[in-house]
Amino acid sequence: MQFELSNEFLSILKEDIARGDKDTVAANIRALYPPDIAEILDEVNLEEAQFIFRLLENEVGSEVLMELDEDVREKFLASLSDDEIADFVDELNTDDAADIIQELPEERQEEVLEKVEDEEHSENIADLLAYDENSAGGLMAKELIKVNQDWTILRCVREMRKQAEDVDKVFTVYVVNDEGVLLGIVSLKRMLLNSERTIIKDIFEEGAISVKTDAMAEEIIQVFEKYDMVVLPVVDEFGRLVGRITVDDVMDVVREETSKDYQMMSGISEDIETTDSVWVMSRARLPWLLIAMMGGIVGAMVIANYEDELKLSPQMAFFIPLVVAMGGNVGIQSSALIVQGLANNTLSKDGMLKRILKELMVGLLNGLACSIVLIAYSYVFSYPVALSLTIGASLLAVILFAAAFGTFMPLTLHRMKIDPALATGPFITTSNDIIGLFFYFMIGRLMYGLAF
């Protein structure tokens, strides 16, 4: 049963809280799933949120904590004591527990870990904390169900009764050998539908797809998507099973990655949302604007250099926005295609040169089309021939350059292990603009020189 958070529900809830009516609030809240409770907590103020939160049992509370918006969770954690956080950490799976610990300020991390009751659990968490956040080790949870290939189904079921307590979402059971090396998987379906005395070795699927602990987020996402996986086992360098990553964690990462690319293109430097304060939003957006400003100033200096041409032919100023904008548009199209191709791993296997040549062909086709439109317009409106040819020729030059540059930059950034999406941001587009202006006026100077 889905839950739609209506303003009505919220205001009634706030009234109940203001009255201190714990029973009513508790009754209303307990009927909801953790993600819905978290949604409510994101919408009320901190005191109201704490009121609600204290009514939750530890298990639900820990789940709600994980579902909160990061900013809200930060405030919550700051207001909870080390013991309280440790209680939640006890309830969480190791991957979520490690995430929570990591979000705490460094001084608190050790203290909270020490207060965690289950020692094995806190050791497991400490293990996970040692991995890079964006690697398989950092994303995985240690809770999983594994059986030995020599066991019967009956024995498996007995062992699973012990292991399954901690594992809430069981999709597949992993099959290992005596050394703990991952051999394959056996589905619960198969275990259910075979006789008790069947030996795992005879029914399991050999050769599971897995990733090593040091695999990075990008590779992990691609494996999930390519093989339509729901859960992915993680192995160490010896092939021993050490953890698993579930698809919902990957979907979160996919969302973050695509958000990052999108924000990069629109020139937003931090992960902000419309719920953030005016100050936070300004701060995230100003850096790129200032870079664009610098670029604009350089552009002004470029044009200033050709002041004489402008005095001779002020009409050249009319087409400045057009030439610059076209360069920007074409450049962004080229860069975006590359960035998308890299993100989805659908890039053709061409070399750099072949790819740029292809882009130039596209640029030529489109550039000619646009130039012809432009020359036709200027002819109809009786602009001087020198001007018509100038804008036509420089538009073509600008488009060709932008297409090549727009393809070259993200690929080069990628090779240098820098985020290729930077190429779609204001930094590169501003450079494109400036170079476009150079082309425009140099060609203009040439044409006018020829005309006289």
Which one of 324, 389, 393, 413 is in contact with its own copies (CB under 8 A)?
Answer: 324
**In the window 413-452, what residues touch its own copies (CB under 8 A)?**
424, 426, 430, 433, 437
Q: Does 297 bind its own copies (CB under 8 A)?
A: yes
Cα 63 from chain centre: 22
CB of 168 to its own copies, least distance (A): 9
- Cα–Cα distance between 327 and 333 in angstroms, integer? 10
| Range 37-66, binding its own copies (CB under 8 A) | 39, 43
**3-class secondary structure, 427:** helix
Written as one letter, the residue type at 446 is: L
- Smallest gap from Cβ 216 to its own copies, in A, equals 14
Q: In this complex, which beta carbon is closest to its own copies, that of residue 54 or of residue 226?
A: 226
Using CB under 8 A as the binding rule, whether residue 72 contacts its own copies is answered as no
Say which DSSP state 44 is in: S
Indicate whether 188 belongs to the interface with its own copies (CB under 8 A).
Answer: yes
Binding its own copies (rule: CB under 8 A), the pick from 26, 32, 33, 419 is: 33
Tokens 């990061």, residue located: 70
Compare residues 106 and 311 and give the one whose CB is closer to its own copies: 311
Type and span of the H or E element at 173: strand 172-176
Which residues, numbered 212-241, are part of the site for its own copies (CB under 8 A)? 223-230
Q: Which is nearer to its own copies, 76 or 441 (CB)?
A: 441
Map the footprint of its own copies across residues 123-152, applying CB under 8 A: none
Q: Which residues contact 446 (CB under 8 A, 6 or more apart)?
A: none
CA distance 14 to 228: 43
| 79 touches its own copies by CB under 8 A | no
Q: Report the Cα 275 to chain-centroid distance in Å.
A: 19
Site map for its own copies, 5-24, x if CB under 8 A?
--x-----------------
Does 323 engage in binding with its own copies (CB under 8 A)?
Answer: yes
Structure tokens at 313: 């032919």
Q: Which of residues 246-285 bind its own copies (CB under 8 A)?
A: 246-248, 251-252, 254-255, 258-259, 261-263, 265-268, 272-275, 278-279, 281-282, 285
Question: Taking contact as CB under 8 A, which single stretch among the options 15-23, 80-88, 125-133, 343-351 is the one that binds its own copies?
Answer: 343-351
Work out which of 292, 419, 442, 445 binds its own copies, going by CB under 8 A.
Answer: 292
135 vs 212: CA distance, rounded Å = 9
Among 307, 417, 450, 452, binds its own copies (CB under 8 A): 307
Binding region for its own copies (CB under 8 A) out of 12-20, 46-54, 112-120, 182-190: 182-190
Pick from 163, 164, 178, 150: nearest CA to 240: 178
Structure tokens at 62: 């820990």
Locate tokens 């050709």: which residue? 306
- Give Cα separations from 390 to 12, 174, 187, 303, 307 (angstroms): 68, 69, 69, 15, 16
Nearest alpha carbon to residue 218 among 243, 194, 190, 250: 250
Report which DSSP code applies to 20: T
| Strands 172-176 vs 205-206: parallel, antiparallel or unpaired | unpaired
User: Using the rule CB under 8 A, is 380 a contact of its own copies?
Assistant: no
365 contributes a contact to its own copies by CB under 8 A: yes
Q: Tell me how far, at minimum, the Cβ of 440 lies from its own copies, in Å.
A: 10
- Report the nearest approach of its own copies to the CB of residue 153 (Å): 9
408 contacts its own copies (rule: CB under 8 A) = no
Q: Are 210 and 235 in contact (CB under 8 A)?
A: yes
161 is an interface residue for its own copies by CB under 8 A: yes
* Contact flag: residue 78 with its own copies (CB under 8 A): no
Q: Rounded CA gap, 438 and 446, in Å?
A: 12
User: Which residue's CB is nearer to its own copies, number 85 or number 265?
Assistant: 265
Question: What SS3 state is found at 285?
Answer: helix
